[in-house]
A and B are shown apart, each in its own frame.
Chain A
Amino acid sequence: MSRKIGDVILDLQNISLRFGGVKALTDISFNIREHEVRAIIGPNGAGKSSMLNVINGVYHPQDGKIFYRGVERKKMEPHMAASTGIARTFQNIALFKGMSVLDNIMTGRTLKMKSNMLLQALWLGPAQKEEIEHRRKVEEIIDFLEIQHIRKTPVGRLPYGLQKRVDLGRALAMEPQILLLDEPMAGMNVEEKQDMCRFILDVNDQFGTTIVLIEHDMGVVMDISDRVVVLDYGKKIGDGLPDEVRASPEVIKAYLGAGH
């Protein structure tokens, strides 16, 4: 492979998250290196999605520190996390249903569009030029994801697999440093999964985007990830190369039950 795994880009230290009395995450530490594909696995309710929500600022952990590129990150809102280059897709597709595929992906460019509202209201030069410039970028993503034929379709009318792809496209439009994928392949058939794997690896390869992935399909996880972290009941029970994790007795116990 041409890509080279770099230094630690995001370092999570002793993260704990509670909702009222319910502990969602307890004392979790792990790091993410630049350009790697990092998988988070674990049984249902292990806290995987909560972990992503912590990373992109939807949830605020009560304890623990997060270092982004070596600098400690203060409490931040999701849109601030987005402006530092963290993008994500959602487990239950969270597209903008009333808008076309094109508009959905264009929303991903919001942070990069600077023209003020007055110019937009009058559709004056700079605003129009900016719109066209970003449209060009978005068309590149549409080409990359092979969804040219549906660009004007309202996303609500698309089948599930394509919606997942648009979701990915919207995140890519942000040109993120770190891309968080929450079960990008859930509910897909084999063919769709293969397509999705290809897109993920291409993104990682071509743009050097760091990828954090939650996935249930062990085959996929073992194939495409560089390192894996395993959560169970909000605790970390494994962390390492795919093969190491697969061999870990604790992980096997969590997945197969205590009887084995």
Chain B
Amino acid sequence: MGFFIETLIGGLMAGMLYSLVALGFVLIFKSSGVFNFAQGAMVLFAALAMARFSEWANHALGGDSLLLANLIAFVGAGLAMLFVAWAVERFVLRKLVNQEGATLLMVTLGITYVLEGVGQTIFGSEIYNIDVGMPKEPVMMLESMFEGGILINKEDFIAALIAAVLVGLLTLFFQKTPVGRALRAVADDHQAAQSIGIPLNRIWVIVWLVAGIVALVAGIIWGSKLGVQFSLATVALRALPVVILGGLTSVPGAIVGGLIIGVGEKLSEVYIGPMVGGGIEIWFAYVLALVFLLFRPQGLFGEKIINRV
């Protein structure tokens, strides 16, 4: 029983990271109708920037203050994501207004390659560490309830907390600020929003920036746990089923979907995996999403699609 709960919690933690990546997808899709395949590359790019900026800043400061170095790096990486958002809007989105979804998807595949190439050219292609001073030691919990108790990383807890705060902030941002309102208007109807004077181009930069910051946070959490390397970009592929499951336009969907997929992956790997030779977690999520898709094409929380003629 203790083992089951440990697996469950491990799944929830992994799922939370998927949720963060999925959140980036949803933000961009809601406001610009772009299914941003490059979200994973953005996580990689942001994490690389964070890791290297932090390293450089730490070096420049003589290694005295890790906190300050990390702060500088965070701002620096944020600026890098702002630049990415600006460039994407200026050179890509602006020229593809009112294109079909599939075209936009393929464009983001192109953006993925560019980001991966540029990121590694500037920041290098080794494995880097992000050290934001997260506690690493595991703690035992609920020893009184189960034999052997449950082993949990403090780090995971803090990460979950950060993710929760981020989601809360985003919700506030969407619901309460004028920019958030404009974003929702744009999401409903590009042309109508433009016609009442909402600057579409600036909105897109903001959304991609927000998605970039989300990617940065995801990158930091992931990177501090497992190191920053190229494989981080493939996290987009892991998060795709999450978005399908949760619905492309739903923030709560991204969260819940991420948790379901995270738990589903871990449980299936632990309990079904050994029977079929292991390694099933990658496709299991996809098949789960696929089966779901057949019965409810709009996802858990998505809006129902009506075809008009």
Do B306 and A49 touch across chains, with their CB atoms under 8 A apart?
no
Whether, in the assembled complex, A68 has its beta carbon less than 8 Å from a beta carbon of chain B, the answer is: no
In this complex, what residue of B is CB-closest to A53? B309
Contact with A along B286-307 (1 / 0, CB 8 A): 0000000000000000001011
* Majority secondary structure, A binding face: loop
Pick the contact of A90: B304, B307, B309 (CB < 8 A).
B309
Residues of B within 8 A of A19 (CB): 306
Q: Are A58 and B309 in contact (CB under 8 A)?
A: yes
Q: Which residues of A contact B306 (CB under 8 A)?
A: 19
**Shortest distance in angstroms between A151's beta carbon and chain B's nearest beta carbon?**
27
Q: When A and B form their complex, which 8 residue pairs have the shortest distance between CB atoms, in order from nearest?
A: A58-B309, A53-B309, A19-B306, A90-B309, A49-B309, A94-B309, A58-B307, A20-B304
Bound Cα distance A19, B304 (Å): 11
Residue picked from B304, B306, B307, B309, most chain A C-beta under 10 Å: B309
A91 to B304, CA, bound (A): 24
B-contacting residues, A1-49, CB 8 Å? 19-20, 49
Place the interface of chain A in its size category: under 10
- A-chain residues with CB within 8 Å of residue B309 when the two chains form the complex: 49, 53, 58, 90-91, 94
In the bound complex, residues from chain A placing their C-beta under 8 Å from that of B307 are: 58
Q: How far is the CA of A19 from the CA of B306 in the complex (A)?
A: 9
In the assembled complex, which residues on chain B have CB atoms less than 8 Å from the CB atom of A94?
A: 309
B-facing residues in A75-99 (Cβ within 8 Å): 90-91, 94
Q: Which residue of B lies closest to A182 (CB)?
A: B309
What is the minimal beta-carbon distance from B135 to any residue of chain A, in angstroms? 50
- Neighbouring B residues of A91 by C-beta, 8 Å: 309
- Kindly provide the distance from the CB of B309 to the nearest chain A CB, expressed in whole angstroms: 6
Bound-state Cα–Cα, A91 to B308, Å: 11
B305 to chain A, nearest CB (A): 12
- Inter-chain CA distance A25–B118, complex, in Å, is 57
In the complex, what residue of chain B is closest to A92 when comparing beta carbons?
Answer: B309
Within 8 A of A (CB), among B256-309: 304, 306-307, 309
Chain B residue nearest in CB terms to A20: B304
B99 to A: closest C-beta gap in Å: 14
Q: How far is the CA of A58 from the CA of B306 in the complex (A)?
A: 11
With A58-B307, A91-B309 given, name 7 new contacts (CB 8 A).
A19-B306, A20-B304, A49-B309, A53-B309, A58-B309, A90-B309, A94-B309
CA distance A20 to B303 in the complex (A): 12
What residues on B are CB-neighbors of A53 within 8 Å? Answer: 309
A20 to B309, CA, bound (A): 17
Please measure, in the bound complex, the distance between the C-alpha atom of A94 and the C-alpha atom of B306, giving whole angstroms.
17
Q: Which residue of B lies closest to A50 (CB)?
A: B309
Which residue of B is nearest A90, CB measured?
B309
Can you name the residue of chain A whose Cβ is closest to the Cβ of B306? A19
Once bound together, how far apart are the Cα atoms of A204 and B94, in whole Å? 49
A90 to B307, CA, bound (A): 14
**Bound complex: CA of A94 vs CA of B309, how far in Å?**
9
Q: B109 CB to closest chain A CB, in angstroms?
A: 22
- C-alpha gap A90/B304 in the complex (Å): 24
Complex: A90 Cα to B309 Cα, angstroms: 8
Nearest residue, chain B, Cβ from A91: B309
In Å, the complex CA distance between A103 and B146 comes to 72
A-contact bits for B26-66, CB 8 A (1 contact / 0 none): 00000000000000000000000000000000000000000
Interface string of A40-71 (1 = CB under 8 A from B): 00000000010001000010000000000000
A sample of 9 cross-chain residue pairs with beta-carbon separation below 8 angstroms, ordered by A number, consists of: A19-B306, A20-B304, A49-B309, A53-B309, A58-B307, A58-B309, A90-B309, A91-B309, A94-B309
Give A19 to B309 CA distance when docked, in angstroms. 14
Question: Could you tell me the distance in whole angstroms from the C-beta of B61 to the nearest C-beta in chain A?
Answer: 60
A60 → chain B closest CB, angstroms: 12
CB neighbours of A49 from chain B (8 A): 309
